[in-house]
Amino acid sequence: MRTYNRNIEFSFENKLQAEERIDRYLTYYNFQRIEKSSDSIVYARKNSLLADGWTINPLKWNTEIRIIISSNRFFINYKNEGNGQITPLAFSNLFDNFLKNLKLSVLKGISVKEENKREITSAKKRIIAHGVVLIICGFFGLSIGYFFDKLIGVEFLSILLFPLGLILSQSAINLFIEEKLT
């Protein structure tokens, strides 16, 4: 599964104010600052199955935001690894707008929480739809397995084809999304 990886850059006038706005913006979305020096800042969000469960908010997936500060410019690299189930490329719209809104928030000092909330809600709906498709495909595999179980008398086929249906449909959906977006 491919990683979502984007770079943006922009100029700022007041370094201290810009850094404070970046920190406020990212910590609001639970990114943790894990490194800071005079010329770089790194934020991360690590998804933990025990702490977060299987989250449907793509902003809570494993993410690293690396910010390089040079003169009066920020060079920002945003990398999202996904949740191991759905390719993060399916949510590039959310991540692109999140970065655009980060820039707006830093440069103009305006709140973009509502815009981000709408994007997150839309992404959650797509994740739920993705899950429904996976479940339908899993049950389709289960039905085929049950049919062959009754036809040839091999009992474990229905049990075997349910997870196989899930895995194959998940792979096909992710491959389709990645091919469509590249």
% of residues, the chain, pLDDT over 90? 47
Q: What is the pLDDT of residues 15-35, one digit of tens each?
A: 999 999 999 999 999 999 999
Helices then strands, each counted (H, E), the chain: 5, 5
- The verdict on 150 and 60 lying in the same domain is no
In the block, residue with structure tokens 């997870």: 163
| Mean of pLDDT over the chain | 86
Same domain, 25 and 107: yes
pLDDT band of 182, cuts 50, 70, 90? low
DSSP H helical ranges for 49-112: 49-52, 92-108
Q: Could you tell me the residue range of the domain that residue 177 belongs to?
A: 117-181
Residues 104 and 123 in one domain: no
Q: Which of 136, 74, 133, 144 is closest to 105 using CA atoms? A: 74
Residues 57 and 146 in one domain: no
Provide the CATH number for the domain around residue 102: 3.30.310.80
Distance from C-alpha of 166 to C-alpha of 89, rounded to nearest angstrom = 20
Residues 12 and 91 in one domain: yes
In this structure, are 77 and 23 located in the same domain?
Answer: yes
